[in-house]
Amino acid sequence: MPHRTFFWFFFPSGLAMLMFIGLPIISSFFQSLHIEPEQILMEVEKCDPFGCKTETKVDIEATNKLQEEQPLGRFNGLGTYGDRNHLAFDEIKEAWTNSSSIAEFTDILLNLPFYKALLFTLTFCFAVTPPVVVLGFIVALSVNTITKSLKGPTIFGVILPMIVTPLIGSLVLFWMIDAKGILGSFIQFLFDDPNLSLKSSSQLTWITLIIYGIWHNTPFAFVVFYAALQTVPQDPIEAAIIDGASRYERVRHIVIPHLYPVATFIILICLMDNFRVLEPIIGFAAEGVAQSLSWMIYNDLRSENKMLFGSAGATSMLTIIGVAILLTPVLIRTWREFRTER
Partner 1 sequence: MKKLLIALLFSFVSTSAFAGGHSPCGVTDGSIKILANEFTTYRIFMDEVKSCAGPSADFSVTHSVDHNKLQVAALSANPAEFSAKLVTNGSITTLMNDNLIRPLDDLVAKYGSALQDNQKIMIDGKIYAIAFMANAQHLWYRESILNDLGIAVPSTYEEVIAAAEKIKASGKMANPYAGAFKSGWNLGQEFVNMYLGHGGDFFKAGTAEVSVNNANGVAALNMLKRLTEVSNPDFLTQDTNAVKEEWESGNVALMHIWNSGAASLLDDEGDQMIKADTRLAPSPSVGGGMKPATTLWWDGFGIATNTSDENAEASFRALLGAATSTEMANANPNATIWLIDGYSPGDTAGPVVDAANRGATPYPSLPYMSLLHGALSTELVEFLQGNESAEKALADVEAAYVAKATEQGFL
Residues engaged in binding partner 1 (CB under 8 A): 35-39, 41, 44-52, 55-58, 60, 64, 73-74, 76, 80, 83-85, 91, 111, 113, 178-179, 194-195, 197, 199-202, 284-285, 287-289, 291, 299, 301-308, 310-311
Q: State in angstroms the smallest separation of the CB of 128 from partner 1.
A: 22
Q: At closest approach, how far in Å is the CB of 64 from partner 1? A: 7
Exposed / middle / buried, residue 181 (Cβ in 10 Å: 0-12, 13-18, 19+): middle
- Do residues 228 and 262 lie in contact, with contact meaning Cβ atoms separated by under 8 Å? yes
Instruction: Using the minimum distance from each CB to partner 1, give the nearer residue, 210 or 263.
Output: 210
CA Rg, the chain, in Å? 26
Based on CB atoms, which residue is closest to partner 1, 1 or 52?
52
Q: Are 52 and 46 a contacting pair, CB within 8 Å?
A: yes
Between 294 and 311, name the residue whose CB sits nearer to partner 1.
311
Closer to partner 1 by CB, 88 or 277: give it.
88
Q: How far is the CB of 320 from partner 1 (least distance, A)?
A: 20
> Of 45 and 69, which CB lies nearer to partner 1 in the complex structure?
45
Tell me how crowded residue 67 is: count the other CB atoms within 10 A of its CB: 14
For the CB of residue 125, give the shortest distance to partner 1 in the complex, in Å: 22
Q: What is the per-residue DSSP string for 153-188?
A: HHHHHHHHHHHS-HHHHHHHHHHHTSTTSHHHHHHH
What's the closest the beta carbon of residue 168 comes to partner 1, in angstroms?
A: 16
Alpha helices in the chain (DSSP H): 3-17, 23-32, 60-69, 79-82, 89-98, 102-111, 113-145, 148-163, 166-176, 182-191, 202-229, 234-242, 247-250, 256-275, 279-283, 293-301, 309-341
Report the nearest approach of partner 1 to the CB of residue 301 (Å): 8
Closer residue to partner 1, CB minimum distance, 226 or 298: 298
Q: How far apart are CA 167 and CA 181, in angstroms?
A: 18
